[in-house]
A and B are shown apart, each in its own frame.
Chain A
Amino acid sequence: MYDERVRRIRRWIDAVLRGSASALELLADLVSGSEDVELHTVVTFRAVVDAVVPETPELDPELGPDHVPGGLGVDLEEFVVTYVDDGFQLGLPYLGPRGNVPLADPIAQLLDVAALALLDRGGNTGELDDDRPVSLLDPGEASPREVRAAAGAFSKLSRRDRLRAVGLLDELELEISQFDGELFEFDGGLVGQLVVGFTEMIYYSEWQGYDEFTQPPSERVHPNDPAAVQSWRQTGYPGFSPGYAALRGYLGSDDGPLGDGDAWTTVDEESSVRILREPGSFRENDYDTSDYAEPFPE
């Protein structure tokens, strides 16, 4: 199983490199140098989460201590890895469990490719730092030597340079030959979606409140309480509610059919637009498009 995984990733990367700039080909050895795929993926996804929703001590004076912890504080990277591994399927029975395509390892490798491309272009503002990946793990989780050996270029970049590297992927249309005899095109932009968009969505959603999200839906429990969801405390989102007494009324004006009755408040003194207590309805008007002018003809 382990061999199969490495073999697959190697082939994936080979194909990526064939499709990318020639200077990058020289770096192929560097990228696939790591044998500890699992640790490499863990470190890389921690580096992602650390860049997208970082710990932010700088927000403490401005917004308070609730705003300091980030995604790593709630083990977000573990779930992101599970999610990208389980989330997409091509419906082919031989592709992993239930036909889902495990994407986390190859994505981690692709992020290194992107990091190297950034360095190659001189687009980085900071230097590679071997200690960064080490600092992303808790003390005792793995020896610094192992971490340095497993970590790729992506996790050695500064936070902002990591984001810049992700940005480069948006430009890449990759063509990847993943399985014998089958062409599987993969699009770099999807990586950005998964590592930035989905990481943000998961972090700011209710996700942290579940005991275990991977349980069957009917068995999932959620306390629906900001005490259980760090991001809710940071956004002020109060949790899901069956409803709110938030009705202010209906829009209307003196001469229109949209509303009726007492005015609650006036929107615009001059045009007599008000928010009224009683609802009205739209007018079924005659229409005439004869004086229509196309704003931007093509």
Chain B
Amino acid sequence: MVGNDYDVVVVGAGGDGPVAAWKLAEAGLSVLVLEAGPFYGNEQWPAPSERPGGEASSSVADLSGELLDEQFTTREFEMVNKLLFGPADHERGFWFRKFPGDGAILQCAGVGGTTLHYTGCHPRAYPASMDEQGHWPIAYAELLPYYREIEEMCEVTPAPVTAKEELFFRGAAAAGWPLLHDLNVTTSGYRPQPNAIRRPDPKLHVDAGYDGPVTYPEVRGDTLSLGNIAGNPHPRGAPYEEKAKRSSNVSFVPAALETGNVTIRPNAFVTDVRTETALGDAPTATGVDFRDTWSGRTERVDAEVVVLAAGAIETPRLWKNADLPDNEWVGRGLTIHFGDNVMGLWREADLDERLGKGTIDQHEGQDIAARFDYPGLGMLQTVGTTPGVGAILGFGASASGFTFQNDPADAPWDTMGRLAGPELKRLLADYRRMLQMLVVSDDRPHRRNGVTVTPGLADEHGPIPVVNYEPSEGDRKRRDELATIAAEILREAGAAHVHRSDSPPTALHVHSTMRMGYVLDEACEAYDVDRLFVADHSALSNGVGGANPTNTGQALAARTAERILDRHF
């Protein structure tokens, strides 16, 4: 049973919320985590997309690897539909957000949040993005102890090499870039991804001649089968906590439940933050209202401290719908790592020479296991995708029309634009000889970009978020420069054809809408509401230089939890 009074209520069990819950509960506080989406892999909800199931989970014994295996089928279309931001009930569609332009926002609902989709890449911020860009009220060095703590919990290690990474490393080396060995990156170069995915079983070396089952317990750790975007339940047969990918539901949720002080209630969409205001004072948060997404009933819970961790779109939406004091930065300053896709296609003979086989086989290995860093510009990473996800992310959208409408004449790519028709089928016929690079640029916070709500546009949880994003001239230049470097690396790696998507703004990484130093103070407590904290990626003061943001979001959430203890308990 969910009580109605806790020391702390955390709104959202995504990438960062469970980190704060774990730290607070370890210190002995009672914590309730309310999550809008379902709880997969939990005995309380044997069919979480079909029936309401139990009410809440407070015990690590509820976690079940077997159920996770059943629910996370790794079938890409099914899993994307299951995980994308929407109610548990499979008969109901996604929760709608308005995103002008033809881009999209990718976030998940469910315990684990968007880390259910994420590919486990866990680099630190570029130190210069915190120390030199002038957005952050704290120094990079402040985060170091928290990074170490998070990296240990998530078992971050240099990612393994399979064929696609080898091809990329050869290209990057031939293009003259150095290999980086460091966690704190201040110069440009390439390196294996620091991934929050357990190392593959050594048995799986191509030389080892292993032909037994690739399931637990014969094989432990990662099994080198693509599938992170589809939730990655590998190795199949393993207990919940032994799953290789350390998404927050696997890394932090068991640790939080283990304390005995945490209750997680899924299918609970928070719609209001309650406050009290003593005469002449700033309001003080006293609890939240939430709506059960199955029954539609609204309930209320009181807490000494409220922590918003609903992600960089829903946290400002909730703030605005709860009618909390506005300041000119609430919801503003959104960064999304304005991205692009550049891909190479190879001839069989060229691959044979470089890899000893005629295919790259992007479906083998970890999704994203190699990277290129350029502090000040952002990053590049190799991406393996299953064909459907690859098609929608890489080919299905472009800001510059279809390939047949563009003539890239002197550009570093042979074709550019959206692919459809015979061009699409021809390209995808080369799926196994294709390597895609994701361009992730260090876009900067601008006030025009962000989340607003309009009273007329409402769903069952109040006015929906309307998201605006328009990159600046500098953001575009950084992205173009990275796309050019990507094309050079692919050519050096022997690609016979290079294609650039010129993707419309697509938000895989979403941050900095409730920025520390603008909406939040240096402890991530709201300037204008006492006892209200933010512990998700919206609290980041900028896009951390273009590095994958979760390590930083989690490190900051861990730090915020300590500040909450210092200030209020």
CB-CB under 8 A for A248 and B161, given A200-B392, A201-B389, A296-B474: yes
CB of A192 within 8 A of CB of B102, answer: yes
Let me know if A67 and B429 touch, CB within 8 A.
yes
Neighbouring A residues of B260 by C-beta, 8 Å: none
* A206 touching B77 in the complex, CB below 8 Å, given contacts A159-B421, A216-B49: yes
Interface 1/0s, chain B 98-116, versus A by CB < 8 A? 1111111000000000000
Nearest-neighbour CB distance to chain B for A17, whole angstroms, equals 20
- The interface residues of chain A lying within 8 Å CB-to-CB of B425 are 53-54, 56, 59, 67, 70, 234
Q: Which residues of B contact A187 (CB under 8 A)?
A: 98-102
Instruction: Write out, one digit per residue, whether chain B residues 348-386 have a CB within 8 A of any chain A CB (1) or not (0).
Output: 000000000001010111000000000111000000001
User: Nearest-CB distance from A105 to chain B (Å)?
Assistant: 16
- Shortest A87–chain B CB gap in Å is 5
Total residue contacts A-B, CB cutoff 8 A: 367
Q: Are B234 and A250 in contact (CB under 8 A)?
A: no
A206 to B90, CA, bound (A): 18
Residue of A nearest to B369 (CB): A251
Task: From the candidates B89, B160, B206, B365, name the one contacting A98 in the complex (CB within 8 A).
Answer: B89
Q: Are B421 and A160 in contact (CB under 8 A)?
A: yes
A245 close to B203 (CB less than 8 A): yes
Contact check, A204 vs B161: say whether CB atoms are below 8 A apart: no
- Closest chain B residue, CB of each to CB of A285: B182
Contact with A along B404-435 (1 / 0, CB 8 A): 11000000000000101110111011011000
Chain A residues, CB < 8 A from B137 = none
Chain A 231-255 interface 0/1 with B at a Cβ cutoff of 8 Å (1 = within): 1101111101111111111110100
- A249's nearest neighbour on chain B, judged by CB, is B161
Q: Which residue of B lies closest to A187 (CB)?
A: B100
CB pair B50 A216 closer than 8 Å: yes
Across the interface, which residues of A come within 8 angstroms of B166, CB to CB?
248, 265, 267, 275
The CB with the most chain B CB atoms within 10 A, among A188, A193, A248, A264, is that of A248
A295 lies within 8 A of B102 (CB):
no
Supposing A164-B405, A201-B396, A217-B90 touch, asked if A52 and B206 sit within 8 A by C-beta, the answer is: no
Query: For the complex, what is the distance from the CA of A182 to the CA of B458, rounded to whole Å?
Result: 9
Q: Nearest chain B CB to A152's CB is how many angstroms away? A: 20
* Chain A residues closer than 8 Å to B326, beta-carbon distance: none
B residues near A245, Cβ cutoff 8 Å: 203-206, 208, 210-211, 214, 224
**Count, chain B residues at interface, CB 8 A:** 130
> Which of these, B92, B213, B474, contacts A89 with CB under 8 Å?
B92
- Contact pattern, B 141-184, Cβ under 8 Å of A = 1, otherwise 0: 00000001000000001101111011001100110001101111
Chain A residue at smallest Cβ distance from B473? A298
Task: Find A243's partner among B104, B225, B418 (CB 8 Å cutoff).
Answer: B225
Closest-by-CB residue of A relative to B296 is A93
Query: Across the interface, do A244 and B77 meet the contact criterion of CB distance under 8 Å?
Result: no
Are A218 and B184 touching (Cβ within 8 A)? no
The reply to whether the CB of A257 lies closer than 8 angstroms to some CB of chain B is: yes
- Within 8 Å CB of A63, what residues of B? 426, 429
Q: Give the contacts of B424-476 with A (CB-CB under 8 A).
A: 424-426, 428-429, 431-432, 444, 454, 456-461, 464, 472-474
Q: Evaluate contact between B431 and A235: CB separation under 8 angstroms.
A: yes
**A190: CB under 8 A from chain B?**
yes
Contacts of A94-144 to chain B: CB distance below 8 A: 97-101
B395 interfacial by beta-carbon distance below 8 Å: yes
Q: Which residue of B lies closest to A87 (CB)?
A: B93
Kindly identify which residue among A88, A164, A244, A288 contacts B225, using a CB–CB cutoff of 8 Å. Answer: A244
List residues of chain A with CB within 8 A of the CB of B457.
183-185
* Residues in B neighbouring A294, C-beta threshold 8 A: 132-133, 376
> Given the complex, which residues of A lie within 8 Å of B204, measured CB to CB?
243-247
> Is B219 on the interface with A (CB-CB < 8 A)?
yes
Q: Give the one of A218, A232, A238 with max B CB within 10 A.
A: A218
Flag if A189 contacts B504 (CB, 8 Å).
Answer: yes
A99 touching B92, Cβ below 8 Å: yes
Within 8 A of B (CB), among A162-213: 163-164, 167, 170, 173, 182-185, 187-190, 192-193, 196-198, 200-207, 213
B47 close to chain A: CB less than 8 A: yes
The answer for the CA separation of A83 and B359 in the assembled complex, in Å, is: 34
Among B71, B223, B375, B391, residue most surrounded by chain A Cβ atoms (within 10 Å): B391
Q: Among the listed stretches A8-16, A24-32, A276-284, which one makes contact with chain B, having 4 or more residues with CB under 8 Å of it?
A: A276-284
A280 and B157 CA atoms in complex are apart in Å by 8
Q: Indicate if A149 sits at the interface (CB-CB under 8 A).
A: no
Which one, A88, A279, A298, contacts B474 given CB within 8 A? A298
Tell me if B70 counts as interface (CB < 8 A to partner A). Answer: yes
Indicate whether A218 sits within 8 Å of B47 (C-beta atoms), given known contacts A246-B364, A283-B183: yes
B170, closest chain A residue (CB): A267
Q: Which of B192-200, B279-287, B337-345 is near enough to bind chain A? A: B192-200
Proximity bits, B201-242, A CB within 8 Å = 1, else 0 = 011111110110111000100011101000000111000000
Q: Quick check: is B96 within 8 A (CB to CB) of the other chain?
A: yes
B392 touches A201 (CB 8 A): yes
If A268-B174, A277-B205 touch, whether A201 touches B158 (CB-CB below 8 Å) is: no
Complex alpha-carbon distance, A90 and B464, angstroms: 9
Given contacts A201-B396, A267-B166, A296-B478, contact A236 B208 (CB under 8 A): no
Bound CA–CA A167/B235 (angstroms)? 43
Given A200-B420, A206-B388: A237 touches B71 (CB 8 Å cut-off): no
Is B474's CB under 8 angstroms from A297's CB? yes
Once the chains bind, are A251 and B161 in contact (CB under 8 Å)?
A: yes
Is A189 in contact with B162, judged by CB distance below 8 angstroms?
Answer: no
Partner of A231, one of B202, B387, B460, B477: B387
Which B residues touch A265, using CB under 8 A?
Answer: 166
- Beyond A193-B102, A265-B166, A283-B181, whether A205 also contacts B214 by CB under 8 A is no
Q: Tell whether B140 is near chain A: CB-to-CB under 8 Å.
A: yes
Cβ contact within 8 Å between B170 and A89? no
Contact B194 A59 (CB under 8 A): no
Q: Which of B158, B396, B426 contacts A281, CB < 8 Å?
A: B158
| Complex Cα–Cα for A18 and B427 (A) | 40
Residues A41-58 near B (CB distance < 8 A): 51-54, 56, 58
A292 lies within 8 A of B161 (CB): no
Decide yes or no: A243 and B421 within 8 Å by CB, A202-B388, A222-B75 being known contacts.
Answer: no
- Decide: B161 and A196 in contact? CB cutoff 8 A: no
Chain B residue numbers with a CB within 8 Å of A23 are none
Q: Is B191 an interface residue (CB 8 A)?
A: yes
CB distance from B271 to the nearest CB of A (A): 11
A273 to chain B, nearest CB (A): 5
Q: Given A89-B94, A258-B158, is A243 in contact with B182 using a C-beta cutoff of 8 Å?
A: no
Q: Known contacts being A196-B418, A204-B390, is A189 close to B100, with CB within 8 Å?
A: yes
Contacts of B161 in A (CB 8 A): 247-251, 275
Closest to A88 in B: B93
Q: Could you write out 9 A-B pairs with CB less than 8 Å apart? A: A204-B388, A222-B75, A242-B235, A247-B224, A248-B163, A279-B160, A285-B184, A287-B182, A295-B377
Known A206-B388, A235-B429, A257-B181; further 8 A-B contacts with Cβ < 8 A:
A53-B425, A58-B422, A193-B396, A198-B392, A240-B73, A243-B235, A271-B173, A282-B183
The 4 A-B pairs with the shortest beta carbon distances in the complex, nearest first, are: A243-B223, A189-B102, A205-B388, A243-B214
